[in-house]
């Protein structure tokens, strides 16, 4: 059982997406325990304020450190142990990836701290969080959507979370490659037909075609993934075929 605590000034924004689909099913199965906390409950002034003007001047507001400190004392009273992570969602963090999701799926506690406004007092990263995590290089209005992505990616790696929808090991990304193209009925649509091999019933040919198209898509769209992926002898042969096909077309 993984317990996740989310600290945010918009608890409803986080709760609603966690109450549906495979995440809710994982909660029902007792694989995941998610609790969402309103940061304002940990403010001590009568206005429940969680932000203040930046030292040094400038525009916007900065999230205060004490509400986060009280929140973490509430959710992890003994502090973070070796099987616990307190992650601050921030554009200054390391980019979240599948390896990080795998590491989080083995934790007992994961605490996600969401920022808002123009930034977060640096002492939250220094004294409350054990790590800083970003979803990528774009501007968000807060960490909530990033926290949801982290929860979903982690939850689906918990043993038993995926049922008939397929196993996490069968994912395209499990081997570091992009997925092959998928098709369903009708066999003709928009003037385009489904590749003949998929209608052939020849499962050996289908498996080989899918692997080749996986390699082709990764090579064309995400070459940096291909350089890191563990490739078999067959993979190298398929890549050689792809390169030859490109030469013929050129
Ligand atoms: C400088 C993006 C600021 C943003 C540079 C991905 C973005 C949290 C994330 C910002 C946030 C860049 C994330 C920016 C995020 C305080 C509250 C920070 C919102 C905040 C590239 C605003 N992954 N952004 N600043 O977006 O929290 O996790």
Structural domain range at position 14:
2-155
Is residue 154 within 8 Å of 2, Cβ to Cβ?
yes
Say what the pLDDT of residue 169 is.
Answer: 65
Residue 27 has pLDDT above 70, yes or no: yes
Looking at the fold, whether 199 and 150 belong to one and the same domain comes out as no
Spacing, Cα 119 to ligand 1 middle (Å): 8
Spacing, Cα 144 to ligand 1 middle (Å): 10
Domain contains 40: yes
Q: pLDDT, tens digit, for every residue of 187-214?
A: 999 999 999 999 999 999 999 999 999 9
Active site residue 118: yes
Looking at the fold, whether 131 and 12 belong to one and the same domain comes out as yes
Active site residue 41: no
Q: Which residue has the tokens 């982690």?
A: 154
Per annotation, catalytic residue among 38, 66, 132, 171: 171
Give the residue from 96, 157, 87 showing the smallest Cα distance to 124.
Answer: 87
With a 6 Å cutoff on the Cβ, whether 229 touches ligand 1 is no
Ligand 1, from 140, 141, 153: best to mutate by most atoms within 8 Å of Cβ?
A: 140
The CA-based angle 82-83-86, given to 5 degrees, is: 90
- The model's pTM: 0.96
Q: Which residues, including other chains, have CB under 8 Å from residue 129's CB and lie 6 or more apart? A: 86, 87, 88, 113
Looking at the fold, whether 116 and 18 belong to one and the same domain comes out as yes
For residue 97, which phi and psi values (nearest 5 degrees)?
A: -145, 180
- Domain total of the chain: 2
Is residue 70 within 8 Å of 94, Cβ to Cβ?
no
Q: pLDDT, tens digit, for every residue of 169-183?
A: 667 677 899 999 999
Spacing, Cα 117 to ligand 1 middle (Å): 10
Say what the pLDDT of residue 250 is.
Answer: 82
Looking at the fold, whether 106 and 58 belong to one and the same domain comes out as yes
Q: Among the three residues 155, 172, 198, which one is the final residue of a domain in this structure? A: 155
Is residue 168 within 8 Å of 162, Cβ to Cβ?
yes
Asked which of 60-69, 104-113, 159-168, 239-248 is least confident by mean pLDDT, the reply is 159-168
Q: pLDDT, tens digit, for every residue of 71-88?
A: 999 999 999 999 999 999
User: Peptide bond preceding 186: is omega within 30 degrees of 0, i.e. cis?
Assistant: yes
Return the structure tokens found at 244: 């030859």
Active site residue 205: no
* Closest C-alpha residue for ligand 1 atom 23: 134
Q: pLDDT, tens digit, for every residue of 32-73?
A: 999 999 999 999 999 999 999 999 999 999 999 999 999 999
CATH of the domain at 205: 1.10.1270.20
CATH of the domain at 31: 3.40.1280.10
Per annotation, catalytic residue among 40, 54, 70, 91: 91
Looking at the fold, whether 149 and 195 belong to one and the same domain comes out as no
């Amino acid at each position: 059982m993984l317990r996740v605590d989310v600290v945010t000034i918009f608890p409803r924004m986080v709760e609603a997406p966690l109450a549906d689909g495979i995440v809710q099913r994982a909660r029902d199965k007792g694989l995941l325990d998610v609790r969402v906390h309103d940061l304002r409950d940990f403010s001590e002034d009568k206005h429940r304020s969680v932000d203040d003007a930046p030292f040094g001047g400038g525009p916007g507001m900065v999230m205060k450190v004490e509400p986060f400190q009280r929140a973490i004392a509430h959710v992890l009273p003994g502090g973070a142990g070796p099987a616990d992570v307190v992650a601050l969602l921030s554009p200054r963090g390391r980019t979240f990836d599948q390896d990080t999701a795998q590491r989080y799926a083995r934790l007992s506690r994961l605490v996600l701290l969401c920022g808002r406004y123009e930034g977060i007092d640096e002492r939250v990263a220094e004294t409350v969080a054990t790590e800083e995590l970003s979803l990528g290089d774009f501007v968000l209005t807060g960490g909530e959507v990033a926290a949801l992505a982290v929860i979903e990616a982690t939850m689906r790696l918990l043993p038993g979370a995926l049922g008939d929808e397929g196993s996490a090991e069968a994912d395209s990304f499990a081997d570091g490659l992009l997925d092959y193209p998928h098709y369903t009925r009708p066999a003709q649509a928009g003037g385009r037909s489904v590749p003949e091999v998929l209608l052939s019933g020849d499962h050996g040919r289908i498996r080989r075609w899918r692997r080749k198209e996986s390699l082709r898509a990764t090579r064309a769209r995400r070459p940096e993934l291909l350089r890191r992926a563990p490739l078999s002898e067959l993979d190298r042969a398929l890549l050689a075929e792809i390169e030859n096909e490109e030469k013929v077309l050129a």
